A and B are shown apart, each in its own frame.
Chain A
Amino acid sequence: MATTTADVATAPVPSRRASRPSRRRLTGRQVILAFVAYVIAMVFLLPYAEMVITALRPKKELLSPGYFPQHWDFSNFTSIWKLGFGANILASLEVAGGATILVLLVALPAAYYTARRRFRGRALFLLLVLSTQMFQPAAMLVGIQREFISFGLPSPILSLILVNAGFNLAFATWILNAYFSSIPAELEEAAMVDGSGRLGALGRITLPLALPGIVTALIFTFIGAWNEFLVALTLTLGAPNSQTPITPAINSYIGQYSIDWGHLFAGSVIATIPVIILFAVIEGKVVSGLTAGSIK
Chain B
Amino acid sequence: MSDQLATEVPPLAPRGGRPRGRILGGGPLGTVLRALVPLAWVGPAIALIGVVVLWPVVVMIQTSFKNIDSIGFDHGYTGTKNYDALFNRSELVGVIERTVVWTVAVVVVTMLISLGLAQLFNQRFPGRRVARWALIAPWAASVMMTAVIFRWALDGSNGVINIFLHDLGLVRLGSNQADWLGRPTAALIWMMAVAVFVSLPFTTYALLAGLQTIPADVYEASRVDGAGKWRTYWSITLPLLRPALIVAALINIINVFNSFPIIWEMTRGGPGYKTATSTLFMFQLKDAYVGQAAAMSVFNFVLVILVVLLFLRMTNWREQVGD
Verify B6–A290 contact, CB threshold 8 A.
no
Q: Please report which residues of chain A, range 156-198, place their CB below 8 angstroms from some CB of chain B when the two chains form the complex.
A: 162-163, 165-167, 169-170, 173, 181, 185, 188-189, 192-193, 198
Q: Quick one: given A15-B214, A189-B12, are A48 and B279 in contact (CB under 8 Å)?
A: no
Contact with A along B11-48 (1 / 0, CB 8 A): 11101100000000000000000010110111011101
Indicate if B93 sits at the interface (CB-CB under 8 A): no
Q: Which of chain B's residues has its CB closest to A292's CB? A: B209
Query: For the complex, what is the distance from the CA of A122 to the CA of B42, rounded to whole Å?
Result: 9
Indicate if B322 sits at the interface (CB-CB under 8 A): yes
Shortest distance between the CB of A225 and any CB in chain B (Å)? 11
Query: For the complex, what is the distance from the CA of A45 to the CA of B117, rounded to whole Å?
Result: 15
Query: For the complex, what is the distance from the CA of A259 to the CA of B1, rounded to whole Å?
Result: 51
Indicate if B3 sits at the interface (CB-CB under 8 A): yes
Query: For the complex, what is the distance from the CA of A51 to the CA of B140, rounded to whole Å?
Result: 14
Q: What residues on A are CB-neighbors of B173 within 8 Å? A: 65
Q: How many A-B residue pairs have CB under 8 A?
A: 340
Verify B141–A129 contact, CB threshold 8 A.
no
Verify A143–B56 contact, CB threshold 8 A.
yes
Verify A48–B149 contact, CB threshold 8 A.
yes
Query: For the complex, what is the distance from the CA of A95 to the CA of B303, rounded to whole Å?
Result: 31
Verify B214–A65 contact, CB threshold 8 A.
no
Verify B126–A26 contact, CB threshold 8 A.
yes
Verify B53–A135 contact, CB threshold 8 A.
yes
Verify B213–A11 contact, CB threshold 8 A.
yes
Selected contact of B158 from candidates A62, A162, A173, A294, CB within 8 Å:
A62
Verify B120–A37 contact, CB threshold 8 A.
yes
Indicate if B321 sits at the interface (CB-CB under 8 A): yes
Shortest distance between the CB of A135 and any CB in chain B (Å)? 5
Shortest distance between the CB of B301 and any CB in chain A (Å)? 5
Number of chain B interface residues as a range: 35 or more
Shortest distance between the CB of B277 and any CB in chain A (Å)? 10
* Majority DSSP secondary structure for residues of B touching A: helix
Query: For the complex, what is the distance from the CA of A109 to the CA of B2, rounded to whole Å?
Result: 18
Verify B138–A44 contact, CB threshold 8 A.
yes
Verify A4–B5 contact, CB threshold 8 A.
yes
Indicate if B76 sits at the interface (CB-CB under 8 A): no
Number of chain A interface residues as a range: 35 or more
- For B122, B134, B200, B301, the residue with the greatest tally of chain A CB atoms inside 10 Å of its CB is B134
Q: Quick one: given A44-B134, A134-B254, are A128 and B49 in contact (CB under 8 Å)?
A: yes
Selected contact of A109 from candidates B42, B139, B247, B261, CB within 8 Å:
B42
Selected contact of B46 from candidates A2, A125, A133, A134, CB within 8 Å:
A125
- For B5, B136, B282, B290, the residue with the greatest tally of chain A CB atoms inside 10 Å of its CB is B5
Indicate if A54 sits at the interface (CB-CB under 8 A): yes
Give the segment of A72-80, A82-90, A144-152, A208-216 that binds chain B: A144-152
Verify B2–A126 contact, CB threshold 8 A.
yes
Selected contact of A169 from candidates B49, B152, B158, B265, CB within 8 Å:
B49
Q: Which of chain B's residues has its CB closest to A113's CB? A: B41
Contact with B along A98-142 (1 / 0, CB 8 A): 000010011101101111111111110111111011111011111
Q: Quick one: given A38-B131, A110-B45, A275-B140, are A1 and B321 in contact (CB under 8 Å)?
A: yes
Q: Quick one: given A3-B5, A146-B59, A272-B140, are A42 and B300 in contact (CB under 8 Å)?
A: no
Indicate if B99 sits at the interface (CB-CB under 8 A): no
Verify B57–A106 contact, CB threshold 8 A.
no
Verify B142–A271 contact, CB threshold 8 A.
yes
Q: Which of chain A's residues has its CB closest to B280's CB? A: A138
Query: For the complex, what is the distance from the CA of A6 to the CA of B155, rounded to whole Å?
Result: 53
Q: What residues on B are CB-neighbors of A118 within 8 Å? A: 6, 9, 11
Verify A2–B2 contact, CB threshold 8 A.
yes
Contact with B along A198-235 (1 / 0, CB 8 A): 10000000000000000000000001001101100010
Query: For the complex, what is the distance from the CA of A234 to the CA of B216, rounded to whole Å?
Result: 49
Verify B120–A116 contact, CB threshold 8 A.
no
Shortest distance between the CB of B294 and any CB in chain A (Å)? 4
Q: What residues on B are CB-neighbors of A16 within 8 Å? A: 216
Q: What residues on A are CB-neighbors of B42 within 8 Å? A: 109-110, 113-114, 125
Query: For the complex, what is the distance from the CA of A185 to the CA of B11, rounded to whole Å?
Result: 8
Shortest distance between the CB of A186 and any CB in chain B (Å)? 8
Report 7 cross-chain contacts, Cβ distance below 8 Å, ordered by A residue: A18-B212, A30-B123, A37-B127, A113-B41, A265-B148, A268-B149, A291-B212
The 5 closest A-B pairs by CB, nearest first: A166-B52, A143-B60, A143-B56, A2-B1, A41-B134
A residues with CB within 8 A of B:
1-7, 10-11, 14-18, 21-22, 26, 30-31, 33-34, 36-38, 40-42, 44-45, 47-48, 50-51, 54, 62-67, 102, 105-107, 109-110, 112-123, 125-130, 132-136, 138-147, 149-150, 162-163, 165-167, 169-170, 173, 181, 185, 188-189, 192-193, 198, 223, 226-227, 229-230, 234, 247, 250-251, 254, 261, 264-265, 268, 271-272, 275-276, 279-280, 283, 286-288, 290-291, 294-296
- 8 further A-B contacts with Cβ under 8 Å, apart from A54-B152, A118-B6, A295-B247, are A37-B121, A44-B134, A109-B42, A117-B12, A128-B46, A229-B261, A268-B145, A276-B140
B residues with CB within 8 A of A:
1-6, 8-13, 15-16, 35, 37-38, 40-42, 44-46, 48-49, 51-53, 55-61, 63, 72, 117, 120-131, 133-146, 148-150, 152-153, 157-158, 160, 163, 173, 197, 200-201, 205-206, 208-216, 219, 243-244, 247-248, 251, 254-255, 258-261, 265, 279, 282-283, 286, 290, 293-294, 297, 300-301, 304-305, 308, 321-323
